[in-house]
A and B are shown apart, each in its own frame.
Chain A
């Protein structure tokens, strides 16, 4: 049976790295991302040079309509989805009182509603293509209470909790569910620049997306439940269990107030 790996948010950063990692493992792809985000050239490059079949759909994952369109495309094209990677996400933007209500709803839609609905809509397909796997991209932020990441952290806590329960339910259908909780990743130019300005320990915890992608796909194929990629991040998670709350709060606040110096901010 010819099977496919569906990846959302595949045109940039971690999603793009996972698309390349899967293609190198000879997995056929269905890539989803926003229009004009470079998805077409990426799909063409992978298909031409990595010799796998690549489909792509450009849509805005903040609407439920897009999820139904993806499910419709999958059924029309008769694609057997063996691996579903819910990667698309909206990152944090600042303090809660400064956030536009529309942005908050969009963040919740992309980070919570879309992965939940996509899994539901593609569940029968995943069952037929089994043994299959779902990889949900959460974040280390789901374990911490970080200022400026309030809604983001909460949406990722949902992803982590939802995935753990779903894993128990879907075991009988031979569908594994894995959650990856990355820390900082060198994805966009802006984040790369910010990651180069933070303190030494934080900088060591930041991973390149291609390294995190390899770890994530390995974890999915090995049916891991939850994984924090990177040795330093794993140490931080261990410390998190040991340290009292007031020290964690102090460290989190110190790091957040550090970057980036005002004079080095361009208009991007």
Chain B
């Protein structure tokens, strides 16, 4: 069996490629740079050079494949140029879907995000049928939603697709913009003081990377078609998450709470200065907004239909902390 995969040098795609390869599936990994050190190495992984927006490169790599795993996405919320998000998340996705339809691929498994649903209503867990209640807060949410609309459109054209909306992913793996919990653990291990916004009651859903990979494998089941699943783990608030990590890392870090509005204003001013003096932007206020709204969810549908199982947060954090300690 052969599978075409995008995002092999990203957090999820990298581990998914290795897992598929271990299952004896030949993985055609589309990568922009064949020299990238992030390309997963395995005898069953064949890197193909090319960009997801390039039809010919995608066609060449996808030929003779049974499945398509589209995990590539532009996720850096600090980027102020919407075209970066648009080209990868919308145009790139459309290109993948177009070629997949042409090549009569068995199934496309598309990696999306819980943020397409927007924040939860109070602390009501988001489920797949919930309508979005607020407008798009940032370019990432908007372009991933546009990509999901494209997936719907290609399903109507006859392409078989499964969409997996993953919550906040953590666990061993490459360091990318999207694994914030891993960054938090590193900070707790290395810093003496940590300034945090005072909205520690805000709850989110956290999913262990191994579970996300497993969900992608489960989505290959022939009976699962044209469906959308929320792939998550446990819901918890920041106060509990910080406490857990602090205890498990035996960190002596002192957490100092700062008024959210003051902190946001400081970042806004810094942002303006960084733009004026053409300095790299570290944290945009929009990133804070995206992080400090309730994003709780339920994976009941995936548990029922995919037989998906989620790792307990404590157990997942333990693996992650051990991995990070080993790395450093």
Interface residues of A (CB under 8 A from B): 16, 20, 38, 41-42, 44-45, 49, 186-187, 189-190, 192-193, 196-197, 208-210, 264, 266-268
Contact = CB atoms under 8 A, between A and B. Distances in A.
B121 A193 contact: no
B94 A266 contact: yes
Contacts, number: 57
Interface string B130-170: 11011110010011011001100100000000000000000
A41 B130 contact: yes
Given A189-B142, A192-B142, A45 B91 contact: no
B83 interface: yes
B34 interface: no
Contact of B146 (A16, A209, A266): A266
B140 to A, nearest CB: 12
Contacts of A209: 135
Contact of A45 (B82, B131, B134): B131
A230 B135 CA distance: 16
Contacts of B145: 189
Given A186-B135, A192-B135, A264-B86, A49 B124 contact: yes
A49 to B, nearest CB: 6
B164 to A, nearest CB: 20
13 contacts: A38-B131, A41-B129, A42-B131, A44-B129, A45-B121, A45-B130, A186-B135, A192-B135, A196-B82, A196-B142, A210-B135, A267-B94, A267-B150
> Interface centre among A41, A187, A192, by most B CB within 10 Å?
A192
Contacts of A20: 133
Given A189-B149, A192-B142, A210 B131 contact: no
Contact of B136 (A16, A186, A267): A186
* Size category of the binding interface on chain B: 20 to 34
A16 B130 CA distance: 13
B90 interface: yes
Contacts of A264: 83, 86-87, 91
Contact of B91 (A44, A192, A210, A266): A266
A264 B164 CA distance: 26
A189 B82 contact: no
B131 A41 contact: yes
B82 A197 contact: yes
B153 A268 contact: yes
Interface string B86-101: 1100110010000000
Contacts of B150: 266-268
A208 B136 CA distance: 9
Nearest to A11: B131
6 closest residue pairs by CB, A with B: A208-B135, A41-B129, A186-B135, A42-B131, A189-B146, A266-B94
Given A41-B131, A49-B122, A209-B135, 10 more contacts: A16-B131, A20-B133, A45-B129, A45-B131, A49-B124, A192-B135, A193-B86, A196-B82, A196-B142, A264-B83
Contacts of B153: 267-268
Contact of B90 (A187, A210, A266): A266
A183 to B, nearest CB: 15
Interface in B50-89: 82-83, 86-87
A177 to B, nearest CB: 28
A193 B131 contact: no
Nearest to B122: A49
A16 B28 CA distance: 43
B136 A189 contact: yes
Nearest to A16: B131
A266 B143 CA distance: 11
Contact of A268 (B129, B135, B149): B149
B74 to A, nearest CB: 14
A208 B134 contact: yes
B171 to A, nearest CB: 31
Contacts of B91: 264, 266
